[in-house]
Structure formats: C-alpha cells, structure tokens
Structure 1
Amino acid sequence: MKRSYVSVALLLAVLLVNIIVTQYMVHQYFYENYTNTIIAAVINVVLFPTAFLIYKKGVNIND
C-alpha cells in the first residue's frame, strides 16, 4: 500500500486543527462559555469523518 504525500499532509493538517479546536473547547468550558464549547465540539465531530475520507482516498487498494 503506497501512500501519497498529499494525503499524509492533509491528515496531519486535520490532526493539527483537531488539537487546536480541542484546546479551544477546554479553554471555553473552563471559562463557562458553553455555546462556544458546543460549537467546538461539533467541529471536532465533523473533523473525524473528514479525516476518515482523506484516509480512504489516500490508500490505493490495487497496490
């Protein structure tokens, strides 16, 4: 299974955004901004299928 550099870079970018959004969510929860906390949680939930799609597109099944 060969992996392209573009898909790896996209997965790393999604991971970086996920870490940033999670840190923002924890920060907003600590300061009791619950609306922003829920928005950040929804963004985290949306990022998982995005990363899964990037992973599936990056794997060449025929190799």
Structure 2
Amino acid sequence: MDHKFFGVALLCAFLMINIVFTQFMVHQYYYENYVNVLIFGGLNLGVFPLALFIYKKTKNEKA
C-alpha cells in the first residue's frame, strides 16, 4: 500500500475510533455513569491529537 493511502486509512481509523468514543460518552451520560463519561471523554481527547498529527504528516507527503 502506498504511504499516502496508508496515512489516509490510518486517519480514517483514528476518526472512527473518535466517533465511537463520542457515542459511548453520550450513551453513558444518558444513563448517568459519569465516571465512564470522563473516561471516554479523556480517551476522545487523547485520540484526536493523534488524528491531527497523522493529517498534518499525510498532507505534507508527495503523491
């Protein structure tokens, strides 16, 4: 797989994980499990900078 396509696939995976963590966070908030809300919120904040880093790295690669 080309490096550019690998970076895009990795970016898609990180953003999908971000969406899943957000959905879990909203679900746990609805059922008032606030400790789990903080855990998933922290995981969400941890994954987003990784996706941003991959985006910047992939954007600067040559095709």
TM range (shorter): 0.7 to 0.9
Q: Which residue in 2 is equivalent to 1:26?
A: 26
CA distance in 1, matches of 2:56, 2:49: 10
State, as a whole percentage, how many aligned pairs show the same letter: 49
Q: Which residue in 2 is equivalent to 1:44?
A: 44
- How many Å apart are 1:52 and its aligned residue? 1.2
Q: Check the 8 A contact 2:14/2:47 in 1, yes or no.
A: yes
RMSD across aligned positions (CA)? 1.8
Task: Name the one with the larger helix percent.
Answer: 2
CA distance in 1, matches of 2:57, 2:39: 28
Q: Deviations over 1:3-37 (max 9, x none)?
A: 70001001100111011110000000000000000
| 2:60 alignment partner, SS class | coil
CA distance in 2, matches of 1:39, 1:57: 28
The answer to which structure, 1 or 2, has the higher relative contact order (CA under 8 A, 6+ apart) is: 1
Structure 2 spans left out of the alignment, 5+ residues? none
Structure 1 spans left out of the alignment, 5+ residues? none
Give the length in aligned residue pairs. 61
